[in-house]
Amino acid sequence: IGHYLQPKFFAEKKGRSTAPFASRIKKEEINNIMRRSMRQSERYIMMKKAGHTAEEIEKAFNTPIEMRVFSWNGPIDTLMSPLDSIRYQKYFLRAGFMVMEAKTGHVKAYVGGVDFKNFQYDMVSEGRRQIGSTIKPFLYTMAMQEGASPDDLSPNVQPRLADENGKIWMPRNASNKRVGEMVTLRWGLANSNNWISANIMSKLSPYAFVRMLHSFGLKNKIDPVISLCLGPAEVSVEEMVTAYSTFSNGGVRVDPLYVTRIEDNLGNVISTFTPTMTEVFGEDAYNKMLPMLRDVIDGGTGARIRFRYGIKAPMGGKTGTTNNNADGWFMAFTPSLVAGTWVGGEDPSIHFDRITQGQGAEMALPIFAMFIKKVYETPELGYSETEDFDMSNQFVATSDEGKYEGEDEVMDYGTDEEDGSGAGEVESPAVEVGIDGIFD
C-alpha cells in the first residue's frame, strides 16, 4: 500500500477541495464526517471530561500546534491544527489481511491495519464493510445445492425484477461482453457478471439465502433483499476467511483458532483447543464450486495473479468491489491456506474515483499475491506450490467458457484491474491539507 497504492491515491486527490474524500461528496457531508470524527477523538473526549465549553473545544481544534504525524517514509514533525490532523490521517488507505490453515483453522497471518501506533482500529475482526462480489460464490453454492450445474445457461441481459417493495430493480453491469447471448453460470462467476447473479437470485428465496450466509459464518444482521446477491452486506475479513474455508474443505467450515493450548509457568498444560468444524454444503455442490472458483483465478477476474505475478499454484478465489470503489476485496484459497484481503478508506466516502485503481483486483489482490509468493519462496514454512486439490470427483465442464472477457464487478444494486512493486519516497499530503470552514 505505502509504496504503490498510496502514491496513486495522493496523486488523484492532489489539489481537490474535497480531498481526501471523493469528488462526488458534498461539503455538508464532509463537514458532518469531520465533526463526528472530532467528537470521537481522544483529545475531544478528554477536553469534554475536563469541562471545556463547545467554543473552547472548537477553538482548540482549529489552532495549529506542533505535532508529529504519520507518513510512509517515517514520522513528520509539523505545525497543524488538531482538526487538520484528523483530516490528514484520513488520506491514508486502510487494509485488513488474514490467512489461516484451511483444515486446522490455525491463524498464520493477521494484519488489522497499516500501522498500529497510528491506526489502531482492527479491520480484520472489528471492521465490517460491504463485501461486493465476494458474496457471489455463496449464491452460486446455494444454486448448486438446489440442482443447478455450472454448464446451465442464463441470458446475459439486464433483468427487470420486482424487489421486496414491489419496485422494479434493474442491476447494472460493468462489462458489455456477450450481451444478449446465452452464457453458462461458470462464465457468469468467472467474469463476475451481475446480471447472471441477479437471475440466479430471482429463482431463490432471499430469506433462504440469508440463512445460507449465516451457515457460512457471517454473523451480522443481513436484510433478505433481492439485491443481496451483489454484496451490500457488511462483513468482517475474519468472517469472510471463515466462510471461504468451506471451498478448500469439501463444504466444511473451519472457524479460526488463535490459541492451541495454555500452559502455566512450569509448562503444565492447563487447556487445549481444537478447531470448530461445521458442514455447510455437501460434496456435490463442492465438486461443482471448486472448478468454478479456480476458473476465477485461472482465467477470470483474479487472473492477474497468474499473468502479472507469475504464481502457478492451484488456487481458487474471488475479487470484489463495492459501489464507488469504496471497498476492494480479494478472497483466495489453496489446498492448505485460505486468505482474505480488504482495502479501502477510513470512511466509505474516501475512495478512488476511477475504477482502474479502485477495484479489488487492483487494491487487494496484490497484497495476497506478494504474500503467497513469499510463502512459496520459503520452503521451511512447509507450503508447496505444487500441492493440488483432490480433483477425482470434480465437475468437468462441457465448454471452455470460464475465460475472463471484461472488467470485474461493481456491486451496484454493479467493477473490478496492476502490479504493486514500485518503491521509493512517498509524497505526504501534510502541507496541503488546509481545511477551511468546517464549522461554517
Q: What's the average model confidence in pLDDT over 66-71?
A: 91
Q: What is the pLDDT of residue 406?
A: 44
Domain final residue, candidates 89, 123, 145: 89
397 pLDDT band, cuts 50/70/90, is low
Q: What is the pLDDT of residue 358?
A: 87
Same domain, 250 and 163: yes
What is the residue range of 145's domain? 94-381
User: What total of structural domains would you count in the chain?
Assistant: 2
Domain final residue, candidates 63, 89, 115: 89
Same domain, 112 and 158: yes
pLDDT tens across 276-291, in order? 999 999 999 999 999 9
> What is the Cα gyration radius of the chain?
23
Read off the CATH number of the domain in which 262 is found. Answer: 3.40.710.10
pLDDT tens across 173-184, in order? 877 889 889 999
pLDDT tens across 144-182, in order? 999 999 999 999 999 999 888 889 999 988 778 898 899
Does pLDDT of 1 surpass 80? no
Amino acid residing at 16:
R
Does pLDDT of 428 surpass 70? no
The verdict on residue 363 lying in a domain is: yes
Q: What is the pLDDT of residue 425?
A: 39
Q: What is the mean pLDDT of the chain?
A: 88
Q: What is the pLDDT of residue 4?
A: 84
pLDDT tens across 191-209, in order? 999 999 999 999 999 999 9
Q: What is the pLDDT of residue 175?
A: 78
Does pLDDT of 402 surpass 70? no
CA-to-CA dists, residue 121 to 39, 89, 98, angstroms: 16, 13, 15
Q: What's the average model confidence in pLDDT over 330-352?
A: 95
249 pLDDT band, cuts 50/70/90, is very high
Q: What percent of the chain has pLDDT over 70?
A: 89
Same domain, 58 and 142: no
The verdict on residue 188 lying in a domain is: yes
390 pLDDT band, cuts 50/70/90, is confident
Domain final residue, candidates 89, 109, 127: 89
Q: What is the pLDDT of residue 393?
A: 63
Does pLDDT of 413 surpass 70? no
Same domain, 291 and 357: yes
CA 161 to chain centre: 27
Q: What is the pLDDT of residue 436?
A: 38
Q: CA-CA distance, 154 to 149, in Å (whole number)?
A: 11
Same domain, 83 and 161: no
Same domain, 285 and 317: yes
114 pLDDT band, cuts 50/70/90, is confident
420 pLDDT band, cuts 50/70/90, is very low
Q: What is the pLDDT of residue 437?
A: 34
The verdict on residue 406 lying in a domain is: no
Same domain, 194 and 84: no
> What region, left, alpha or beta, does residue 52 occupy, with left being phi > 0 and alpha being psi -120 to 50 degrees?
beta
422 in Cβ contact with 4 (< 8 Å): yes
Q: What is the pLDDT of residue 401?
A: 55
pLDDT tens across 6-28, in order? 999 999 888 899 999 988 889 99
Q: What is the pLDDT of residue 399?
A: 54
Does pLDDT of 213 surpass 60? yes
Q: What's the average model confidence in pLDDT over 83-105?
A: 94
The verdict on residue 391 lying in a domain is: no
What are φ and ψ of residue 291, in 5° steps? Answer: -60, -35
Q: What angle do CA 338, 251, 260 make, to 5 degrees?
A: 50
Same domain, 41 and 145: no
Same domain, 291 and 330: yes
The C-alpha cell of 65 is what? 500546534
Q: What is the pLDDT of residue 174?
A: 77
Q: What is the pLDDT of residue 43?
A: 94
Same domain, 208 and 347: yes
Same domain, 73 and 164: no
The verdict on residue 249 lying in a domain is: yes
The verdict on residue 234 lying in a domain is: yes
Q: What's the average model confidence in pLDDT over 232-261?
A: 96
The verdict on residue 169 lying in a domain is: yes
The verdict on residue 394 lying in a domain is: no
Q: CA-CA distance, 296 to 189, in Å (whole number)?
A: 7
394 pLDDT band, cuts 50/70/90, is low
Q: What is the pLDDT of residue 189?
A: 96
Short-list 301, 423, 389, CA closest to 102: 389
Same domain, 209 and 234: yes
